């Protein structure tokens, strides 16, 4: 009986509408947050910079895609390009406003991504499914081309890449650029991701999120009930691209430090899509599971396999982890279409009646 | 005014002034169009017969070509390697049906699509694991395919035709005719179309879904092998081809998802349109527009005729 809501009575509307109505959930969230805040104490810079930061950024991008594909039911293959728009927008903003706090610029850069997302979301009003995938692919290839061919976007650099200049934030912390310590970057990324997740949790519970799900489940019925498809679909595209854009800006400014157009290729789009599928479409916690799984699996394979006596090269690890990810996607689609998030939920339900499985 | 001239007049002036160059561009477009069409043909086969949009078709092309080259490198004679590769594609079809689609009967389209994306990822990893990631040379001559080129003297200039391209066109035409006969005249072909319409209804009248799906995936595998040989003969066999397979999507939008002739016509329109656009209008915006022009053509087309040129009216309008 580790996990029960029995005896937890709700006497006010506020308590009934709480994000986490069960005490154990609240404790769990607090514990996870405390762990997340304390990780820098025990983790090395390497772990922070190459596992935790990318994990959080990918989780963020997956939330963005999940809003569109998981909640609003519009398949998108252009996530990578929308992340790229955020990154390039942030780069241009920081050249125009070098004195503004970089965090503000990162958050603002998502707006440009949202605008582009709306433009490429317009066809979704007339078409859907596979046909929509074509328009998002068009976005992917067109935007990637723009990143290469419009020199203004990368300030006419000879290398064609964008490089992050050094920027300090509030209190003189170096937040971006090669000199910034991973710890500060980790806290900034963590802060943005936690705030975004909380906001999205509430948006999805609320009116807008419910209309998204109505459109996903049966658009015609939703329309009959007074949901406006125009506003609903475009808002899904806008919110999704906004989050992806911020994730893209964070990816360049707080993780990579520099990026080429090929960083935002279709490979990235697919990586995010796999994270969303594996974690569970239509679930916020699934985004974190999916991102953790796909980002950390190759790392574990690379370090774990030599430990147990199988000596393989880095390239082979890459291939094997691809095979595993591909096989897992198929496995999940066949066995558990709701992904890791559903397993988590099943686990919680089992704990509720533990140790009596049929209670 | 200057920009209007450059966009609307100048390209056509160039075309008229150098007709032999235009002819060469058209031929190049025609050839890449044929290859797009061959990839799209594999998509259409599977979509027509099972309603699955097979995202893995592109990687199946690479996989088939790699197997052929790899088996030849092991010391098998070229034709034995060819037959063995066909057998491999058969095994692949069987395994895919048994492990994936057998369990996904009557699921939503989007789930089926994602399953094929998973298959794509698996096959890329598997292919690189087995054959290595570096490009390989296709065994064109050993298979008895023509090599070399002929130059024709037309319109005051030389137009060069590669023999392998002509062979590709001929093979594409033969394949389309054979498939048309197969779909319209044979018992299995009609069963395939029944399955495409409704999985459950087909099951209830006694059509074996398992058998049908293995057959179409095998057929798509053979088409993939033919495409892989043709493509490999023009450039190397490598995973870079995967990106080319994305071109099949606009081709299908243009031709219609269920139409075999549509795949060919769509492929030709995209192939020729892309080359012409790149050569004559590309320089205005800095070149490289080939990467997205096909999608824009398809997008514009979608707005006017969503079911494609020859497609059935199956699109769900919102």
pLDDT tens digit sequence for B176-220: 888 878 878 888 888 887 777 777 888 888 888 888 888 889 989
Instruction: For residue B235, give the DSSP letter.
Output: S
| Contact A354/B at CB under 8 A | no
Closest CB to B246 among A123, A125, A137: A137
Q: Are B65 and B232 in contact (CB under 8 A)?
A: yes
Residues in chain B: 318
A315 versus B99: which is more confidently predicted?
B99
User: Is B115 close to A133, i.e. CB distance below 8 A?
Assistant: no
* pLDDT value at A214 more than 60: yes
Of B104, B124, B128, the CB nearest to A334: B104
Please give the distance of CA A322 from its chain centroid, rounded to a whole number.
20
* pLDDT tens column, B226-279: 888 888 887 778 777 777 778 888 888 888 877 888 888 889 999 999 888 888
Residues in chain A: 359
- Percent of chain A topping pLDDT 70: 98
Cα distances (Å, whole numbers) of residue A328 to A260, A294, A334, A344, B212: 30, 10, 10, 17, 26
CA A1 to chain centre: 34
Mean pLDDT of chain A: 87
Nearest to B37, CA basis, from B310, B266, B312, B273: B266
A102 close to A94: Cβ distance less than 8 angstroms = yes
The proportion of chain A whose per-residue pLDDT surpasses 90, expressed as a percent, equals 40
Is residue A203 over pLDDT 70? yes
Interface with chain B: mutation pick from A275, A334, A335, A337, highest number of B CBs within 10 Å: A334
Q: What letter does residue B152 receive in the DSSP assignment?
A: E
Give the per-residue pLDDT at A118. Answer: 94
More confident residue, A184 or A242: A242
> Among B114, B290, B300, B308, which would you mutate to test the A interface (most chain A Cβ atoms within 10 Å of its Cβ)?
B114
Instruction: Give me the pLDDT at residue A212, please.
Output: 95
Neighbours of B2 (CB within 10 A): 7
pLDDT tens by residue, A257-289: 888 888 899 889 988 998 998 888 889 999 999
Q: Rounded to a whole number, what is the distance in Å from the CA of A220 to chain B's nearest CA?
A: 7
pLDDT at residue A317 in the model: 80
For residues A150-163, give the mean pLDDT. 86
**Pairwise CA distance, residues B207 & B201, whole Å:** 9
The structure's pTM equals: 0.88
Residue A250 has pLDDT above 90, yes or no: yes
pLDDT given at position B318: 46
Task: Name residue B153's beta-bridge partners.
Answer: B158
Give the CA-trace dihedral at B238, B242, B247, B248, to 10 degrees: 110
Beta carbons of B315 and A131 less than 8 angstroms apart: yes
Distances (CA, A) of A269 to A79, A218, B222: 5, 26, 30
* Residue B314: per-residue pLDDT: 55
pLDDT of residue B172 exceeding 60: yes
Contacts of B303 in chain A (CB under 8 A): 123, 126
Q: What is the pLDDT of residue A62?
A: 96
Query: CA B244, B246, B248, B251 torsion: positive or negative?
Result: negative
Mean pLDDT in residue range A297-326: 78
- Across A25-38, average pLDDT: 91
Work out the average pLDDT over B14-31: 83
| C-alpha distances in Å from residue A77, one per residue of A278, B24, B34, B133, B165 | 16, 35, 26, 24, 32
- pLDDT level of residue B313 (50, 70, 90 thresholds): low
Q: Which residue has the higher pLDDT, A322 or A33?
A: A33
Cβ distance B109 to A133 less than 8 Å, yes or no, reads: no
Mean pLDDT for the stretch of residues A225-245: 94
ipTM over 0.95: no
Residue B78 to residue B141: CA distance in whole angstroms = 9
pLDDT digits (tens, 9 = 90+) for A64-95: 999 999 999 888 889 999 999 999 999 999 99
How many Å lie between the alpha carbon of A352 and the closest alpha carbon of chain B? 31
């Amino acid at each position: 009986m580790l996990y029960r809501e029995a005896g937890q009575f709700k006497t006010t509307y506020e308590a009934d509408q709480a994000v986490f109505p069960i005490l154990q959930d609240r404790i769990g969230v607090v514990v996870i947050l405390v762990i997340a805040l304390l990780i820098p104490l025990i983790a090395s810079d390497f772990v922070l910079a190459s596992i935790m930061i990318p994990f959080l950024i990918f989780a963020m991008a997956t939330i963005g895609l999940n809003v569109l594909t998981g909640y609003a039911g519009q398949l998108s293959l252009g996530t990578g390009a929308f992340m790229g728009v955020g990154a390039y927008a942030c780069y241009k903003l920081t050249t125009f406003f070098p004195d503004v706090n970089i965090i503000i610029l990162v958050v603002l850069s998502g707006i440009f991504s949202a605008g582009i997302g709306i433009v490429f979301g317009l066809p979704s009003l007339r078409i859907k499914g596979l046909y929509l995938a074509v328009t998002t692919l068009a976005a992917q290839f067109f935007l990637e081309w723009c990143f290469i061919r419009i020199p203004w976007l990368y300030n006419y650099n000879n290398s064609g890449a964008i490089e992050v200049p050094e920027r300090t934030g509030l209190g003189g912390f170096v937040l971006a650029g090669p000199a910034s310590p991973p710890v500060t970057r980790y806290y900034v990324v963590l802060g943005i991701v936690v705030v975004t997740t909380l906001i999205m949790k509430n948006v999805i519970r609320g009116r807008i999120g419910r209309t998204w799900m109505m459109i996903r489940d049966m658009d015609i019925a939703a329309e009959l009930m007074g949901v406006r498809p125009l506003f609903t679909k475009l808002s899904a595209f806008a919110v999704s691209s906004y989050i992806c854009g911020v994730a893209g800006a964070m990816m360049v400014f707080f993780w990579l430090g520099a990026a080429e157009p090929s960083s935002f290729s279709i490979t990235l789009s697919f990586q995010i899509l796999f994270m969303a599928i594996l974690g569970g479409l239509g679930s916020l916690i699934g985004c974190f599971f999916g991102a953790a799984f796909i980002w950390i699996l190759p790392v574990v394979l690379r370090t774990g396999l030599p430990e147990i006596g199988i000596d393989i090269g880095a390239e082979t690890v890459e291939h094997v982890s691809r095979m595993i990810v591909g096989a897992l996607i198929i496995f999940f689609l066949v066995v558990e279409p709701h992904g890791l998030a559903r397993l988590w939920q099943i686990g919680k339900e089992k704990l509720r009646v533990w140790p009596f499985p049929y209670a | 005014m200057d920009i209007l001239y450059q966009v609307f007049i100048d390209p056509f002036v160039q075309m008229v002034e150098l007709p032999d160059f235009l002819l060469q561009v058209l031929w190049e477009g025609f050839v890449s169009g044929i290859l797009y069409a061959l990839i799209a043909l594999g998509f259409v086969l599977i979509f027509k017969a099972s309603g699955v949009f097979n995202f893995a078709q592109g990687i199946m092309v690479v996989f088939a070509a790699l197997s052929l080259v790899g088996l030849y490198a092991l010391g098998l004679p070229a034709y034995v390697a060819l037959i063995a590769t066909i057998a491999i594609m058969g095994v692949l079809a069987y395994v895919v049906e048994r492990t994936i689609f057998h369990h996904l009967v009557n699921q939503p389209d989007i789930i089926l699509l994602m399953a094929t994306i998973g298959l794509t990822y698996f096959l890329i990893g598997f292919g690189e694991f087995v054959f290595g990631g570096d490009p390989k040379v296709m065994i064109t001559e050993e298979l008895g395919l023509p090599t070399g080129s002929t130059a024709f003297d037309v319109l005051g200039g030389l137009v060069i035709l590669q023999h392998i391209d002509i062979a590709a066109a001929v093979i594409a035409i033969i394949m389309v005719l054979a498939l048309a006969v197969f779909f319209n005249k044979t018992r299995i072909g009609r069963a395939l179309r029944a399955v495409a319409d409704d999985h459950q209804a087909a099951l209830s009248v006694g059509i074996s879904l398992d058998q049908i799906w293995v057959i179409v995936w095998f057929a798509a595998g053979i088409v993939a092998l033919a495409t892989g040989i043709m493509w490999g003969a023009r450039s190397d066999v490598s995973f870079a081809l995967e990106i080319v397979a994305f071109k099949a999507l606009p081709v299908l939008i243009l031709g219609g998802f269920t139409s075999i002739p549509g795949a060919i016509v769509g492929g030709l329109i995209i192939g020729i349109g892309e080359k012409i656009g790149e050569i004559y209008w590309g320089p205005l915006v800095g070149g490289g527009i080939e990467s997205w022009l096909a999608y824009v053509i398809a997008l514009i087309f979608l707005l006017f005729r969503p079911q494609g040129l020859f497609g059935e009216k199956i699109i769900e309008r919102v």
